């Protein structure tokens, strides 16, 4: 994806997610967050919940003791603003308790 500020479709984001999952799990985690936000904004609550849960599952594989460990590498993905720090507390705050 060359232009990360353009609002892309969820299909495009899902394609990006699949590529990133194989090559860069942190980028895939950020993209899962973006997919959750994008589906929420579109009113697709089941898909939003599914992607938020995917984001949380991926986050379990990363350390989260310091700000550096949870800092996002990008400011936005597919036109969706990312939080400065990405950890389970942020996901639950933005999407509610998912368990």
SS3 for the chain is: CCCCCCCCCHHHHHHHHHHHHHHCHHHHHHHHHHHHHHHHHCCCHHHHHHHHHHHHHHHCCCCCCCHHHHECCCCEECCEECCCECCHHHHHHHHCCCC
pLDDT exceeds cutoff 90 at 5: no
Residue 20 within any structural domain of the chain: yes
Residue 24 within any structural domain of the chain: yes
Residue 1 within any structural domain of the chain: no
Residue 4 within any structural domain of the chain: no
Q: Which domain holds residue 27?
A: 10-95
pLDDT exceeds cutoff 60 at 99: no
Residue 5 within any structural domain of the chain: no
pLDDT at 7: 86
Query: Mean pLDDT for the chain?
Result: 92
pLDDT exceeds cutoff 70 at 2: no
Give how many domains the chain has, as a whole number.
1
Residue 81 within any structural domain of the chain: yes
Residue 47 within any structural domain of the chain: yes
Instruction: Give residue-wise pLDDT tens across range 36-64.
Output: 999 999 999 999 999 999 999 999 999 99
């Amino acid at each position: 994806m060359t232009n990360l500020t353009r609002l892309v479709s969820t299909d495009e984001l899902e394609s990006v997610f699949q590529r990133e999952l194989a090559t860069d799990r942190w980028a895939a985690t950020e993209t899962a967050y973006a997919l959750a936000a994008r589906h929420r904004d579109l009113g697709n609550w089941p898909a939003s919940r599914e992607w938020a849960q995917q984001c949380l599952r991926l986050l379990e594989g990363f350390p989260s003791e310091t700000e550096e460990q949870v800092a996002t590498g990008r400011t936005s993905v597919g036109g969706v603003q990312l939080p400065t720090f990405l950890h389970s507390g942020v996901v639950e705050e933005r999407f509610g308790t998912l368990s």
